[in-house]
Structure 1
Amino acid sequence: MFEVFVDAESFFRFRLKSPDGIVIAVSTPFEDKSGVVAGIAAARECAGMGLVTDLCPAAGARDPATIALPSTVPQGALPHGAAPRACDERRNASDGFRTRAKELRRAATAPRWTGAA
C-alpha cells in the first residue's frame, strides 16, 4: 500500500507499506501532489518490471542451514522454521513462484478504482 503524506519540511512524499503495516520504503521529496502520483506510478512500473542484480560472490556459497542471521535482523523476521537462503539457491519450478509472479503482475497492471474522482 502506498501512503501520501507531507513531511516536516512541507514537501509531499509517499511511503510503501507491507500488508502488516511495516514501512518498506520512503520516497524522495516532491513539490506537489501530481509529482507524488507520478512517483508512485514510476515505482509501480519499476518494481513490477525491475531487473534483479545478483551481487553475491561467485564462489563459496554456503549451506543455508548453517548461515547465521546478522545481529541487525530480528529472529522473528523469518517465518517459523525458515532458514535464510543462500544467494545461489534457486527456487524449483514446482513451487509455483513464476505462476504467482505472473498473477501479481497482472493484478498490478489492471485498472484500479479508488472511488475518488
Structure 2
Amino acid sequence: MAGMFELFAEADASFRFRLTAPDGTVMALSKSFPDKRAALAGIAAVREYAGMGFITEIPAPQQAPAPAPARAQAPAQAQAQAPKRSRLSSAARTFGGRAARRKRQVLVRWRQSLRPRVVTNFPAW
C-alpha cells in the first residue's frame, strides 16, 4: 500500500503537506506554502523526483584532523582520505525505460484525477 499526502492549513493561513506511511507514521513534512496551489505543486514535485533521486551518504564530522606531514602525499593516499560518497543508480537506469514509462503513466492518471468531472447520464432508478 502506498503512502498518503495530507494537505492542511496552518493558523497563519499558509498551507503544508505531510507524507504519511500506511501505518500513520509521518515520513516527511513540507515547508510552508503561501497558498493551496503552491502546496499542490510541491506535492507534484515530490512525486516526480522521489523515485528518481540519488542516495548520497554524508559522513559524520570527524574530530580535529592530525597535522599534515611536511612531504607531499601520494595521489592514492589523497583519494583514500577524501570522504566517500556512494551514488546508487536511479530506478530508470536500473530497470531501463520501464520506470520512466511507469512514472509518466502515474503522472497522466494524477493529472486526469485533478480535472473536474461532469456526469451527464444519470441512471433511471
Q: TM-score w.r.t. structure 1 length?
A: 0.51
Q: After TM superposition, give the deviation of residue 26 of structure 1 in Å.
A: 1.0
Write the distance in 2 (CA, Å) between the matches of 1:28 and 1:11.
Answer: 10
Q: In structure 2, which of residues 30, 33, 36 is the aligned counterpart of residue 30 of structure 1?
A: 33
Structure 1 residues 115, 11: closer, same or farther in 2, change over 3 A?
closer
1:54 corresponds in structure 2 to: 57
Please give the secondary structure, in 1, of the residue aligned with 2:16. Answer: strand
2:109 corresponds in structure 1 to: 111
Q: In structure 2, which of residues 12, 19, 42 is the aligned counterpart of residue 9 of structure 1?
A: 12
Root mean square deviation, CA, Å:
3.1
The number of residues matched between the two structures is: 78
Gaps of 5+ in 1: 58-87, 89-97
Q: After TM superposition, give the deviation of residue 19 of structure 1 in Å.
A: 1.3
Structure 1 residues 115, 51: closer, same or farther in 2, change over 3 A?
closer
Q: TM-score w.r.t. structure 2 length?
A: 0.48
Equivalent AA in structure 2 for residue 29 of structure 1: S
Structure 1 residues 106, 34: closer, same or farther in 2, change over 3 A?
closer
- Report whether the alignment pairs 1:41 with 2:39: no
Please give the secondary structure, in 1, of the residue aligned with 2:109. Answer: coil
Equivalent AA in structure 2 for residue 33 of structure 1: K
Gaps of 5+ in 2: 61-85, 87-93, 117-125
Structure 1 residues 115, 30: closer, same or farther in 2, change over 3 A?
closer
Q: After TM superposition, give the deviation of residue 114 of structure 1 in Å.
A: 3.9
Q: State the Cα deviation string for residues 8-29 of structure 1 (Å, max 9, x = none).
A: 3221111111111111111111
Q: Percent identity?
A: 42
Q: State the Cα deviation string for residues 28-87 of structure 1 (Å, max 9, x = none).
A: 111111101111111111202111113358xxxxxxxxxxxxxxxxxxxxxxxxxxxxxx
Please give the secondary structure, in 1, of the residue aligned with 2:51. Answer: helix
